[in-house]
């Protein structure tokens, strides 16, 4: 009888495995939710203070800043594993 090699599963590319399937670092989820909450708080503070805070010089642009901060958090959700 001839010896045959045992069948093995094809090896995946190491670079793809480490980059695509790797879990997120521990800090990723708190930072993601932190951005979303910070953006929401920024907008709420702007409305409640009637434009006096958080940055009076920006005026109505504070809304865009708040949405921008929250949007960073939402973009991070696309990388969450």
Which pLDDT tens digit goes with each residue over 13-64? 555 556 667 899 999 999 999 999 999 999 999 999 998 999 999 999 999 9
Q: If we measure between CA atoms, which residue out of 19, 26, 35 comes closest to residue 73?
A: 35
- In our burial notation (b when 16+ CB lie closer than 10 A, e otherwise), range 4-43 reads eeeeeeeeeeeeeeeeeeeeeeeeeeeebeebbeebeebb
Give me the half-sphere count of Cα atoms (radius 13 Å) on the Cβ side of residue 45. 15
- State pTM to two decimals: 0.73
Helices (H), the chain: 14-20, 28-48, 61-76
Residue 11: what pLDDT? 57
Question: Could you tell me the residue ranges of all domains in the chain?
Answer: 27-79
């Amino acid at each position: 009888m001839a010896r045959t090699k045992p069948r093995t599963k094809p090896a995946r590319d190491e670079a793809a495995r480490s980059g695509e399937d790797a879990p997120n670092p521990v800090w990723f989820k708190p930072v993601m939710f932190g951005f979303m909450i910070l953006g929401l708080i920024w907008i709420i503070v702007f409305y409640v203070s009637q434009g006096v805070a958080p940055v009076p010089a920006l005026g109505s642009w504070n809304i865009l800043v708040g949405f921008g901060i929250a949007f960073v958090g939402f973009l991070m959700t696309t990388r969450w594993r």
